[in-house]
Amino acid sequence: MSKSIDLELFFLKPDSKKQKQYEAVRAFVVDKFSAQQVADKFNYKLSSVYTFIKNAKSGEIDFFPEQKMGPKQRQVSFEVQKQIFRYRNQNLSHIDISERLNKNEIEISAQTVSRILTDAGFPKLKRRTNKELGLTLKNKIIPEKSENLNFDKLKKFQIDTPAIGIFFFIPYIIESGIIDIVKKSELPSSSVIGSVQACLSMLALKLIGNERLSHMESYDKEIGLGVFAGLNVLPKNTFMSTYSCLSSAEMILDFQKQMVENLKQKYPLLYNGNYINLDFHSIPHYGELSEMEKVWCGAKNKTMKGANTVIAQDAQSNMILYTRADILRREESQEVLRFVDYWKQVNGTVTETLVFDCKFTKYQVLDQLDNDDVKFITLRNRNKKLIDEILGIPDEKWTKVNLSIPKRKYQKVSVYEQKVKLSKCNNEFRQIAIKDHGREKPTLIITNDKNLSLKSVLEVYAKRWRVENKLAELVAFFNMNALSSPLMIRIHFDILWTMIADTLYHIFAQDLRRFESNQAPTIFKKFINVPGKVVYDGDKFLIKIRKRAHTPILKGVTKLQKPIAVPWLNNKNLEIIWTP
């Protein structure tokens, strides 16, 4: 039954805002009420009444707006509706259909799609499993299975790609001989992914930086990044984080040795310094079920389970030339001897001076180094008796030395040199005591380099902080502290590819005018982390990149201005094209 309306109240006490304003103006104009009477009757302010009258005269207020009738049928075109029906026949939901159409630049909401399907008589979809939906249990899209590119069946395509600048490294990868060494080392492969493609996938993720290998879901659906490695898409995180389990420690060390040997021949200035910095680095591990020893983790400033690793750095180029991960605490003091054996295999002899701190090895090992004619510079452990002896030396016996290190706060220090025989050592070494250098206690430097001047010894050891800066860079950009596994073989493999990626960044930087000394994070930000398109025209690959502020620098790199024949892409040419 319809609701009855009191017509008298409808006109005398209107509920509608517009009608109330209309009655107020009518009472003033037709019924000749004063403005104050109208305000009292309709509960308005006096100023509001005058405003209504003014707006009514000027036509700014419309008491009876015209109501437009809506369309009698849907505005969605017949062609779009046919597409919707076609997608539903492919078992897609209204949400999936809406997303597909929006990608094709047809703006339509999921609700509209649902109504069109209902009007057309389509029943609701039955509940589908995660596998049918292409989702994991964590509601993530299941990416395509990774496999080597089949060039006999590869069709033309054009795909948007993030961080497309990693393709700039391809001529350097080819020139450095990394691929030949991978093949020679017989690194593991699977039935669908070759060893070259697997290693290039690892390298691609390292060049992008920032993410640990087990957190690579944001890249394993990128077809463009897959092309970089000769794959349809990059492998999943399980493959990437477990790949090295099929290799042995000897295989990885041999691969590292061949790599450094080859790089040393290709780029003579890469490892051409007179000094090599050595340092331990502890990678923290948070799992309970592991066989790792407790080590001091500087990143957390406490003792905890972790992987004890070592790196050796060329002091001139700052490049890493040696890494190892499986180091027990009882073996730490012997690690310098292992490095000497390794470097003799690579270089034939050890002519460089090794620089390390007092905790890197034991005193008796210094004897072995001296007997082997290996020069070193290190620190001596201090105790109260030794400090008192040093401070008891008369001031007139100390020598002032001015260090030529820019930005150093204390450049003029006091030094005293003498020969000493350390505990459990048979040989005598030079001991240089330093004070007035900004520290409360004197510092003691030990060296067997008899030809190096006093000033040079101090400056060389003062620059040992470069290895700590390098470790900080590896942790911050290459995420070296993100432990890939509690298994040491996987940790060493991960660090090795970090070393290779860092070296490639350095080699690439040497071709970037005015950016030669920039570190990997800066090079990545300015040159690598740019979007673009990977295009395959059936004959060659094109890397299309829009011009940016630093494009002129890249156009000055000769290697990037000509077609590159890529061995793992069936020797097809790859060209870099700059677009407006």
Which tens digits make up the pLDDT trace of 449-458?
999 999 999 9
The confidence score (pLDDT) of residue 9 equals 74
Overall size of the chain counted in residues: 580
pLDDT, tens only, 90-114: 888 888 888 888 877 788 888 888 8
The confidence score (pLDDT) of residue 103 equals 77
Q: Which residue has the tokens 């982390």?
A: 529
pLDDT, tens only, 332-348: 999 999 999 999 999 99
Name the band, by pLDDT with cuts 50, 70 and 90, for residue 292. confident
Assign 4 to helix, strand or coil: coil
* Residue of 367, 417, 378, 427 lying closest to 276 (CA atoms): 378
The confidence score (pLDDT) of residue 1 equals 45
Let me know: does 111 contact 105? Beta carbons within 8 Å.
no
The confidence score (pLDDT) of residue 181 equals 95
Assign 402 to helix, strand or coil: strand
Nearest 5 degrees, angle CA 543-CA 500-CA 257?
140
CB under 8 Å, gap of 24 or more: what pairs does 188-194 form?
188/243, 188/246, 188/247, 190/239, 192/145, 192/146, 192/147, 192/148, 193/146, 193/147, 193/148, 193/231, 193/235, 193/239, 194/148, 194/230
Q: Is the pLDDT of residue 397 over 60?
A: yes
Name the band, by pLDDT with cuts 50, 70 and 90, for residue 356. very high
Q: Is the pLDDT of residue 500 over 90?
A: yes
Q: Is the pLDDT of residue 178 over 70?
A: yes
pLDDT, tens only, 526-564: 999 999 999 999 999 999 999 999 999 999 999 999 999
Name the band, by pLDDT with cuts 50, 70 and 90, for residue 127. confident
Assign 351 to helix, strand or coil: coil
The DSSP H or E segment spanning 127 is none
- The encoded tokens of residue 108 equal 């339509």
Q: Is the pLDDT of residue 138 over 60?
A: no
* Percent of the chain residues past pLDDT 90, beyond the cut: 49
* Percent of the chain residues past pLDDT 70, beyond the cut: 92
Q: Is the pLDDT of residue 129 over 70?
A: no
Q: Is the pLDDT of residue 255 over 90?
A: yes
The confidence score (pLDDT) of residue 137 equals 47
Q: Cα–Cα distance between 516 and 507 in angstroms, integer? A: 9
Q: Is the pLDDT of residue 249 over 90?
A: no
Name the band, by pLDDT with cuts 50, 70 and 90, for residue 197. very high
